[in-house]
Amino acid sequence: MDLFKREQLHRVKTIAGMLSVAVCLASFPSFSQSDLSDFDELASGTNIARAVQDGSDNSLNLNQSGVDNQSRTFQNGFTNTINIDQQGSQHYVLASQFGANVEAEILQVGVGNVVLSAQQGENLLLDVMQTGTGNVALIQQSGYENSIEIQQYGSGNAVGVLQWGNSQHVEVTQQCCSN
């Protein structure tokens, strides 16, 4: 390799390194705007989405279809929202939210879907709707002025709710057979 080619290769590597550092710095929350994440995974199966949002006014929208999809989300702060839509079978949602004025809306359509959710803080809202067979929702919520609404339509569905604090509200609706 002659001197000219080596010099050009060194320049390309230097520019690529500087660009990667700039992209990395721009991804830190202190250098960027509110996180408005939007996922749309429509492959036939085994999509895995992981999102961590820290701060205020964060929003996460996730759409998954197929089989064996997973969503693992964590939000910490104020005025944050999670919207998850999953269609198919064997989907798994793990949603954790901590703070105030946070909201999660989860829709699952299909067979054998699972929602695990933990919320801590004040003025929390969790809305879960599952349609199909053999779906499970396990919810833990603590703090005050919080609300949980769960609707399950189909057969063989199950709900578990653990809620403590002041001014709590839970509403569970199950329709069809053997819930």
DSSP characters over 71-99: EEEEEEEES-EEEEEEEEES-EEEEEEEE
Q: Are residues 13 and 89 in the same domain?
A: no
Q: Are residues 104 and 117 in the same domain?
A: yes
Q: How many CA atoms lie within 13 A of 29 on its CB side?
A: 14
Residue 34 near residue 55 (C-beta atoms within 8 A): yes
pLDDT top residue among 21 and 9: 9
Segment 111-140 mean pLDDT: 95
Percent of the residues in the chain that have a pLDDT greater than 70, as a whole number: 81
Calpha distance 153→174 (Å, rounded): 6
Q: Write out the two tokens for 173.
A: 């609706």
Q: Are residues 19 and 39 in the same domain?
A: no
Segment 60-77 mean pLDDT: 92
**pLDDT of the residue at 35:** 47
Specify the pTM: 0.74
Q: Are residues 142 and 65 in the same domain?
A: yes
Q: Are residues 41 and 57 in the same domain?
A: yes
Q: Are residues 24 and 111 in the same domain?
A: no
Residue 136 near residue 161 (C-beta atoms within 8 A): no
Q: Are residues 120 and 165 in the same domain?
A: yes
Q: Are residues 71 and 152 in the same domain?
A: yes
Range of the structural domain that residue 59 is part of: 34-175
Residue 70 near residue 43 (C-beta atoms within 8 A): no
Proportion of the chain in helix, strand, coil states, percent, rounded to 5: 15, 65, 20
Cα→Cα distances 66→70, 115, 157, Å: 11, 16, 20
Q: Are residues 51 and 124 in the same domain?
A: yes
Q: Are residues 19 and 101 in the same domain?
A: no
Average per-residue pLDDT for the chain: 85
Q: Are residues 70 and 138 in the same domain?
A: yes
